Structure 1
């Protein structure tokens, strides 16, 4: 049985003082780097054959740590970038709540049409990333693979991998640097069902 491992860079909780970062996220902290090293040491015995990651902080340095620990060269793909926050990029959550109160509530509730101005809906981000996951799974059929991304996109991928709708994303977003494994046979079934 082959496994897809999803390693996410940890991040700060979504508090009033949290600044939204997507394309150019927050730098990898020492704590995140240490957690990544530990997760990768645990993965060393898994026989991972490929690493895929988004570009930019904190994912790219996390991919370098994984590549070194697993003796693999990470493949960088834009399709695994964090959700595009559009005009909200770089703003504090408190500022967004103040300026875009109704839209922010709709977006957090997972309404299908809600997106930051100039940004992506959850479904758009998930479709983009899922296309990459399916391509990766087909390319590495029967092999263990590691995908590295940021918390919100990782939560969206968890939605798809567990058969939940994208509006459940906030139930599945985790803020620590952690790794989760998913049976690749299940991914093939999900892909066939689409």
Structure 2
């Protein structure tokens, strides 16, 4: 069974470099075009179910795929973006200026600090892990999962069982497709492709 992990399209906050986290931001014009290109790219990857974060930017992206393939989108708890607390709405430069000590630790070892009022890495890891378990139990064939950059990085980490403290951070691009093969007999995941954006022009 194949699981296609997909990040939502661009938003104005992405463009401005602002952390969105739990904020419910819609796609911008570029993001909507990206979702259309994504839907075309997914035609060679037919799915029987599409699971999505409930946030607008994810649902709008998932609905583009669903409309193209005639598949209903299933909103699923646990796929939301990481909650960054007081850092949400800020750029990394603003965070560095306002929270210099926390920023310094975050840059060196993110596992050692939680954004003020936000989720810890362990909390996110457990949340997206539970969502991944729900998906493979409910999957009736190949599926798409539409979520967010950090949440998908944690999900890939959960599937690959990588260390939370790893310095090799996974960066998930807008409307990228990462393909994972899941073996229901063994419960093992295999990463086939990471960050495919070949469906985008240029």
Gaps in structure 1 of 5+ consecutive residues: none
C-alpha deviation, 1:30, in angstroms = 2.6
Q: What TM-score comes out, normalization by structure 1 length? A: 0.83
Residue 148 (structure 2) pairs with residue 127 (structure 1): no
C-alpha deviation, 1:48, in angstroms = 0.7
* Structure with greater proportional helix content: 1
C-alpha deviation, 1:11, in angstroms = 4.8
CA distance in 1, matches of 2:135, 2:107: 29
SS of the counterpart of 2:178?
Answer: strand
Look up the match of 1:98. 97
Post-superposition, which runs of at least 4 consecutive aligned residues in structure 1 deviate over 6 A? none
Look up the match of 1:174. 172
Q: What TM-score comes out, normalization by structure 2 length? A: 0.80
Higher relative contact order (CA 8 A, sep 6+): 1
Residue 50 (structure 2) pairs with residue 51 (structure 1): yes
Where do 1:7-46 residues align within 5 Å? 7-11=6-10, 18-46=17-45
Gaps in structure 2 of 5+ consecutive residues: 190-202
How many residues are matched?
Answer: 186
Look up the match of 2:161. 163
SS of the counterpart of 2:4?
Answer: strand
Look up the match of 2:198. none
CA distance in 2, matches of 1:10, 1:165: 28
SS of the counterpart of 1:22?
Answer: coil
C-alpha deviation, 1:113, in angstroms = 3.9
SS of the counterpart of 2:172?
Answer: coil
C-alpha deviation, 1:170, in angstroms = 6.4
Q: 1:61 to 1:169 in 2, by over 3 A?
A: farther
After the TM superposition, which of the residue ranges 29-38 and 84-93 deviates more from structure 2? 29-38
Look up the match of 1:5. 4
SS of the counterpart of 1:75?
Answer: strand
Cα RMSD over matched residues? 2.6
